[in-house]
Amino acid sequence: MILLKYLAAVIATLAVIVGLYSFATSDGDSNGPMNLVADAELEKVFYTDDEKNNIAVFENASPSVVFVTNTQLRRQRFSLNVMEIPRGSGTGFIWDDSGLIVTNFHVVYGANRITITLQSNKSYQAEVVGTAPEKDIALLKIDAPEEELKPLPLGDSASLAVGRKVLAIGNPFALDTTLTVGVVSALGREIKSITNRTIKNVIQTDAAINPGNSGGPLLDSHGRLVGVNTAIYSPSGASAGIGFAIPVNTVAKIVPQLIEHGKLIRPVLGIETLTDYWTRRLRVKGVAILSVREGMPADLAGMVGVREDRRGNIHLGDVIIAINGEGVTNEDSLLTQLEQYKPGDVVEVTTLKDEEIHNYDVTLAAPEE
């Protein structure tokens, strides 16, 4: 009898527990916990610190990200009427409160009209301040009220390390203001620009970057700009987990030149070089000088180009193999080396001439307009 009473008590207790569990998990009861997820205390439980960081970075940075639309004028085949058609779209971001916008050069390439749409959905026609095709950077400007312009804080791309979290905001496939999260996969990568020039020290990330993300910001976990998303490596054309971004430290050096000159200013030696095609055919390692311009740095330093002897035989002059000890293998690497300096800097140019090594101290000059 006692055992039966004990079993009855246990069954009754279990029934109560089951009933309470059913009540607690019911989403039909307006008082159930499933409908209290928005409660502040429960939010603290359900959001991890990393998720909170992602949300905070997105909310703070997304007003700085803009939608870039590129349109061209086309003449209709039969009527010959000129009409404006969309050529493509991409992403950009607000550089400062004067209305400067940074994006990729390939986003605005060939445009007759560029339209910038802010997060407020207000649109402005942009003018091109300057472009650096060899770095895939374009600087635009819009005339918008200062209160609508929220620049991104700048980070330091030199402080990045492989494994550090990064966030990308952009407009992939015209889906505006999309956030993707990943890590720095590698540093010091090299990619080709639209002009086939090499862009060095590029950031590689696995944060999903798709067509339309180009020109958008790559941010660190503090919401600071560390790169400009520019390209993906993908056989299908969609994100395959390998995206590239131009370091913010590179962009910060380019923007002032675009503001002042409208283009990237590279100091010159005052030489004309043999093309890489002829250099390869002649099996020359380095950059062979075809001719030097009179009165220019290379001429003043005593460098010479291709020469012809009395019998009509052609002899190579100086072949540049290094600048300040950094190897030069082709014209692209020569231009990349020169971009590290400014007019007036003195560099040591190492050449090979008549099978001998020569070193010249050359004062670099500004390019002629």
Q: What are 227-248's pLDDT values in tens digits?
A: 999 976 656 565 667 889 999 9
Is 214 labeled as catalytic in the residue annotation?
yes
Show Cβ contacts of residue 50 under 8 Å, excluding neighbours closer than 6 positions: none
Region of 230 please: left (phi>0), alpha (psi -120 to 50) or beta.
alpha
Are 144 and 191 part of one and the same domain?
Answer: no
For residue 4, pLDDT over 70 is answered with no
Position of tokens 């696995």? 206
From 97, 130, 148, give the residue that closes a domain: 148
Between 325 and 35, residue with greater pLDDT: 325
For residue 20, pLDDT over 60 is answered with no
Is 106 labeled as catalytic in the residue annotation?
yes
Between 299 and 112, residue with greater pLDDT: 299
State the residue range of the domain holding 213: 157-261
**What does pLDDT average to over the chain?**
83
Q: Which CATH number goes with the domain that contains 111?
A: 2.40.10.10
Is 261 labeled as catalytic in the residue annotation?
no
Q: What is the pTM of this model?
A: 0.76
**So what's the pLDDT on residue 174?**
66
- Options 64, 136, 193, 220, the catalytic residue: 136
**So what's the pLDDT on residue 73?**
54
For the chain, how many structural domains are there in total? Answer: 3
- Options 89, 157, 193, 214, the catalytic residue: 214
Question: How far is residue 187's CA from residue 205's CA, in Å, rounded to a whole number?
Answer: 9
- Options 89, 106, 220, 318, the catalytic residue: 106
Lowest mean pLDDT among 7-16, 166-175, 266-275: 7-16
- Scanning the chain, the segments in alpha helix (DSSP H) are 2-25, 40-46, 49-61, 105-108, 248-261, 276-281, 297-301, 331-338
Give the residue-averaged pLDDT of 71-91.
60
Q: Which CATH number goes with the domain that contains 335?
A: 2.30.42.10
Are 349 and 298 part of one and the same domain?
Answer: yes
For residue 32, pLDDT over 50 is answered with no
Between 110 and 74, residue with greater pLDDT: 110
For residue 19, pLDDT over 50 is answered with no
Residues forming beta bridges with residue 192, ordered by sequence position: 198
